Structure 1
Amino acid sequence: MRKRIFNNFKTLLSSASNNIFHVNKLHSYPNFTKNVYQVNRGPYKSLEEHHLTFFRDVLGENGMIVDLCDLEKYNVDFTKQLRGCSTLVLRPTTTQQISKILSFCNHNHLAVCTQGGNTGICGGATPVFDEVILSTELMNKVIHLDELSGVLTCEAGCVLQQLNDFLVERDLMMPIDLGAKGSCQIGGNLSTNAGGIRLYRYGNLHGNVLGLEVVKADGEVLDCMNTLKKDNTGYHLQHLFIGSEGTLGIITKVAIQCAPKPKSVHLLFLGAQNFTKVLKAYKKARYDLGEIISAVECMDHQTMELVEEHSELSSPIGPYPFYLIIETSGSESVHDQKKLEGYFNGCMDKHFILNGVVATSAAQREKLWSIREGIAHSMYQDGYVFSYDISLPFSSYYDFVTEMREYMGKKAHRVFGFGHLGDGNIHLQISIKEFSNEILNYIEPHIYNRVDELHGSISAEHGIGFLKRKYLPKIKSSENLSTMRKLKMLMDPKGILNPYKVL
């Protein structure tokens, strides 16, 4: 007998816990990145006492971190797999301080690694050697909000969740939502052109960012703080820095277009027999729910097993080969709920889905989203994880995961896939018990060769960083790379900004 959607949520309430996940403390630090990947240090100066004296004069004692124990937080990346050996973290509070710091570093040929929330998975925000870490964590002020236009102006160190909380109280919201929203910073989001679950509805950051303030490598402050939605006066210079991963300049302020907070939000959590059925349910959703869809996510059975194994969460509808998550955001609850009911019944009648639940309250939606957002924290308790953030055509979207599962065989502990189905972005994860160069060389460049053959992208939303830089020539033409290098040389001729990353 078919299970109907609107009386099924009690299953979810009994199976989910308020404690979304538990993260194991790091028992031992990873080996240094420079040793694991055999990187040669660039021709940069090492820190000397007179350098420290200058930084102390600019920032004061509280603006510097030199204690080795405190430094590890900044030297080790989010995945606990990369490790730099910086001996200094600078924490400026103003654009003028950053300008002085970069001017000094540029003159003295000191390499700088800019860091926001340090939540990236490609090593873009983690030093490789002894670069000076410039943290924007103290630059966290909301400067202005125009509630009529919805334009928010803030500093780059503002945490995404805190910005969204500020906006929600004023019936607005950020056009971006990430699993790491509790610690990632808006400056880092812009530097990687982060995507997330709201990209389907609101587009990427290039379309939402109206203006930026940026400090160039030589300390010059570039003021592109436009707050107009339409301004075609000259080159849109702010777009250069979105996705540049801190290699062209340091973002200090941002003006971003925020969206109205929806009055009616629902979340569907559906189970399907195979991925072909998932695609059919997705296509039907586009036509039946088109104007109110705000997110479309999917995950496979192996992903759900991972979450259930490493957290107190479980599927609210039981085990299924695939899960489809659809969020809708509208202005009239009765209208939206009627459309959802019609969509669900239609999918059941056509056998696109086998079961599902709907969440209508904020608490219910949070419990459902906690499953999706708990994946990242669960997978890093599953051993060493090779994480691949790729875009693929729908025709090969999940087939690629199956192919890699067969390719890895017994070499992998687990191969699983989840991601943003609505924009073709899948996260392929391969976990093994512990890192080995032999497995790394077995996986790469095979995986990137296949992505190229399938006309996909090796980075959908997390950037290139350190880990993917040598594969960029496989995706970008020599002409593209040459132009990128010329731009880098123009903006940062001494190469002090985030070396060993991207190029």
Structure 2
Amino acid sequence: MRKYKGCSKLVVKPGSTQDVSKVLRYCNENSLAVVPQGGNSGLVGGSVPVYDEIVISMSRMNRIRSFDGTSGIMVVDAGCILEVADKFLAEKNHIFPLDLGAKGSCQIGGNVATNAGGLRLLRYGSLHGNVLGIEAVLPDGTVMDDLSTLRKNNTGYDIKQLFIGGEGTIGIITGVSILCPQRSKARNVALFGLESFEKAQQAFRVAKSQLAEILSAFELMDEQGQSMVEFVNQRTRPLDSRYPFYCLIETSGSNPEHDSEKLEAFLEHVMSEDIVSDGVLAQDETQMQSLWSWREGISECVGHWGGVYKYDLSIPLPELYNLVEDTRERLTSAGLVGDGDTFPVVGVVGFGHMGDSNLHLNVATRRYDKEVEQLLEPFVYEWIAGRNGSVSAEHGLGLAKKAYVGYSRSDTMIRLMQQIKTLYDPNGIMNPYKYI
């Protein structure tokens, strides 16, 4: 996003857990602040130094340590690239339970540290459920050896959960054991055009009812986002007509015949009931990837004009798109939205994971503009607080949202988080100025 930049004089690239231990012990004894860094694909400034913190890059710790084909349990170094792990699992007929647009560069340790959600959460759940064990180094150099490969381990506090989403503020994750499900033999992808958000909700309800156990993704996109992908990538749209909303669904199962029957019944129902106006079903793997690119391409394309304000939010499903409309109206009324160069805002886009009620609100701009920012913040966070939503659904807090935690967490919860931070990192060297 080109919004955050520090001035580090040193990047350390450890090759082992013991290396990390020695580095942190030295830094802790000498009161030297550090910032852990993975693939640097985050959107909240969590992996970027604020001042002159020492960067600890995990890029050299990139091994796949082990995989058990019977249990589906994989153990990896924190610096292992997500796509590398998933391709390894594909050869073993398994799949990594997380999929992101940044999978070619993001690292699993960073995914776990930020509790990344991604495109498969509807089917496989969050990392809090899939991560079985963690190896981490505490600020004083102590190695936390909790790299369990057991699905059941009910022996005391589940300390590893503090590191899932902890954003490197209480220690550095060096190894992860994770449960990986079998790769589906039958996969289908379809893209629909719909006339309203209400009809998108109806389609989702029908999909949950009729597709049930084979439904693996249900993604929402608006027309403005699709127009940007079309313009930037100069591509022909998969549907002949334009619609206010689009939904992309994916099914994954073990029986192609069974899945096809269920999908055909679903398509027949939503079309006959006028829930869906038009749609296209991918006929092969190439078409599946092409349809997915219309969803995954939004995030990059909205930044084409210069800058983009990105908000990753959890909102009760019936009100999910209302924030986009209210934000668009707010910026338009202020005279900031338009086609000409004199208008700083190019467009307001809403898309996200409808299956888990996660909206990505993106405001595309020609430059980062204080007037725009003041109209967005804290308006967006106040809007979310008024509906008991979350100011961060899956990207974490980092530097961008640390001042806004109070919109989603009570004073009691914030105090408890601060106590945990102080307990693990009394000298405050771990990723300072972030999180809380």
TM-score (norm 1): 0.83
Task: Give the AA of the match of 1:492.
Answer: D
In structure 1, the residue corresponding to 2:231 is in which secondary structure? Answer: helix
Contact 2:223 2:246 in 1 (8 A): yes
Task: Give the AA of the match of 1:488.
Answer: K
Contact 1:307 1:314 in 2 (8 A): no
Q: How far has the Cα of 1:231 moved from its partner?
A: 0.6
What does 1:275-424 align with in structure 2 at a 5 Å threshold?
275-318=197-240, 319-409=242-332, 410-411=335-336, 412-424=345-357
Contact 1:304 1:314 in 2 (8 A): no
Aligned match of 2:413 in 461, 480, 489? 480
Contact 1:313 1:371 in 2 (8 A): no
Q: How far has the Cα of 1:80 moved from its partner?
A: 2.1
2:102 matches 1:180:
yes
Whole-angstrom CA distance in 1 between matches of 2:170 and 2:326: 38
2:140 matches 1:140:
no
Could you tell me which residue of structure 1 aligns to residue 182 of structure 2? 260
Alignment deviations for residues 207-259 of structure 1 (CA, whole Å, 9 cap, x no partner):
00000000000110000011000010111111110000000110000000001
Task: Give the AA of the match of 1:239.
Answer: Q
Whole-angstrom CA distance in 2 between matches of 1:451 and 1:228: 38
Contact 2:130 2:179 in 1 (8 A): yes
Aligned match of 2:85 in 163, 173, 188? 163
Whole-angstrom CA distance in 2 between matches of 1:278 and 1:370: 20
Aligned match of 2:375 in 436, 442, 445? 442
In structure 2, the residue corresponding to 1:297 is in which secondary structure? Answer: strand
Could you tell me which residue of structure 1 aligns to residue 403 of structure 2? 470
Q: How far has the Cα of 1:270 moved from its partner?
A: 0.6
Whole-angstrom CA distance in 1 between matches of 2:68 and 2:299: 35
Contact 1:187 1:251 in 2 (8 A): yes
Contact 2:138 2:171 in 1 (8 A): yes
Q: How far has the Cα of 1:360 moved from its partner?
A: 4.2
In structure 2, the residue corresponding to 1:400 is in which secondary structure? Answer: helix
Contact 1:84 1:126 in 2 (8 A): yes
2:36 matches 1:103:
no
Q: How far has the Cα of 1:450 moved from its partner?
A: 0.6
Contact 2:391 2:407 in 1 (8 A): no
Whole-angstrom CA distance in 2 between matches of 1:459 and 1:159: 24
Could you tell me which residue of structure 1 aligns to residue 339 of structure 2? none
Task: Give the AA of the match of 2:89.
Answer: L
Task: Give the AA of the match of 2:17.
Answer: T
In structure 2, the residue corresponding to 1:377 is in which secondary structure? Answer: helix
Could you tell me which residue of structure 1 aligns to residue 145 of structure 2? 223
Could you tell me which residue of structure 2 aligns to residue 7 of structure 1? none
Task: Give the AA of the match of 1:304.
Answer: Q
Contact 1:262 1:331 in 2 (8 A): yes
Alignment deviations for residues 266-292 of structure 1 (CA, whole Å, 9 cap, x no partner):
001111111111111111111110110
Gaps of 5+ in 1: 1-78
Contact 2:313 2:392 in 1 (8 A): yes
Q: How far has the Cα of 1:439 moved from its partner?
A: 2.0
What does 1:58-73 align with in structure 2 at a 5 Å threshold?
none
Could you tell me which residue of structure 1 aligns to residue 342 of structure 2? none
Gaps of 5+ in 2: 337-344
Contact 1:90 1:135 in 2 (8 A): yes
2:124 matches 1:205:
no
Q: How far has the Cα of 1:121 moved from its partner?
A: 0.3
In structure 2, the residue corresponding to 1:296 is in which secondary structure? Answer: strand
Q: How many pairs were matched up? A: 425
Could you tell me which residue of structure 2 aligns to residue 115 of structure 1? 37
What does 1:1-80 align with in structure 2 at a 5 Å threshold?
79-80=1-2
Identity of aligned residues (%): 45
Alignment deviations for residues 186-223 of structure 1 (CA, whole Å, 9 cap, x no partner):
00000110000100011000000000000000110000
Whole-angstrom CA distance in 2 between matches of 1:438 and 1:494: 38
Whole-angstrom CA distance in 1 between matches of 2:307 and 2:236: 23
Task: Give the AA of the match of 2:388.
Answer: H
Q: How far has the Cα of 1:382 moved from its partner?
A: 2.6
Alignment deviations for residues 352-395 of structure 1 (CA, whole Å, 9 cap, x no partner):
11111112422221111112111121112132111000010112
Task: Give the AA of the match of 2:408.
Answer: I
Task: Give the AA of the match of 1:417.
Answer: G
Aligned match of 2:192 in 270, 282, 293? 270
